[in-house]
Amino acid sequence: MSITGTVAVEDRRRLLVDLLRSRGSIGLDSAAETLDVSPMTVRRDLDYLEKEGIARRVRGGAIYIDIEDFQQRQGRELAAKRRIAEKLMPLVPTRSAISMDASTTIFQFARMIESASELAIVTNGLTTFQAVKGRSGVRAYLTGGESEERNESLVGSLAVTAVSGFVFARSFMSTTCVDPDIGTSEPTTIEVEVKRAMADASKHVVLAADSSKLGTQSVVRALAISRIHVLATELDPHDGRLDPYRDLVELL
């Protein structure tokens, strides 16, 4: 049964925003089927969300514009992020160098690192840097670059140059969307160049992504799935939702 009425319209649009946020993008037909309304109704709702600055219309649907700041995103899927962080801990070398991006998932991971022997950690995340600096046996490096307030990160050519000057045993990063065919993708270009630089400077790339990001696509391609060695989610590695990735990456 379709949802009708003024209040129902608000509820439907709220559900549509939730779908966009979890998937990164959505098609008219898919949204219409999920919400049990006509594609024309979804088209009007997406036009409204575009005017509100929440979505951007593309052919056949819309993409989500993530207007939440770092602190707001930090609270979303928090239990999943912490479970992922626990899985990542055995991958931290006691010596050598690693990189960490500015994502909220990797921030949770950074908070769990209490000590090391001779570990260098390079990050473009301001909050991640604060989490690891001063830890016993850890030398923390913060890249230079242009301040990006929403992600509390440093981006741009200076950040890329700083990252490119290292050789990492592992790079730990997250993403907005990950698809078995196109790899990772983001809603904007801002963080993509730094993520690519981290991957290029690393022998081993670990992607940390909660299950809501699986099978979703956004606008800007970041890393091909072939560039990722390990995919860590909160799911059991045998979960059927991971089947499309099973022959492509190591599952954690």
Burial grade of 150 (CB within 10 A; 0-12, 13-18, 19 or more) = middle
To which H or E segment does residue 32 belong? helix 28-35
Instruction: Identify whether the C-beta of residue 129 lies closer than 8 Å to the C-beta of residue 142.
Output: yes
| CA distance linking residue 94 with residue 116, whole number of Å | 5
107 part of a folded domain: yes
Instruction: Identify whether the C-beta of residue 73 lies closer than 8 Å to the C-beta of residue 80.
Output: no
Q: Report pLDDT digits (tens) over 48-64.
A: 887 766 777 877 888 87
Q: Report pLDDT digits (tens) over 190-201.
A: 889 999 999 999
Instruction: Identify whether the C-beta of residue 125 lies closer than 8 Å to the C-beta of residue 103.
Output: yes
pLDDT bucket at 28, cuts 50 / 70 / 90: confident
Claim to verify: residue 206 and residue 243 sit in the same structural domain: yes
1 part of a folded domain: no
Give the domain CATH number at 77.
3.40.50.1360
Claim to verify: residue 104 and residue 227 sit in the same structural domain: yes
- Residue 181: is its pLDDT beyond 60? yes
Claim to verify: residue 84 and residue 25 sit in the same structural domain: no
- Residue 70: is its pLDDT beyond 70? no
| Domain housing 39 | 6-64
- What pLDDT sits at residue 90? 93
Claim to verify: residue 155 and residue 172 sit in the same structural domain: yes
Count of structural domains, the chain: 2
Give the domain CATH number at 20.
1.10.10.10
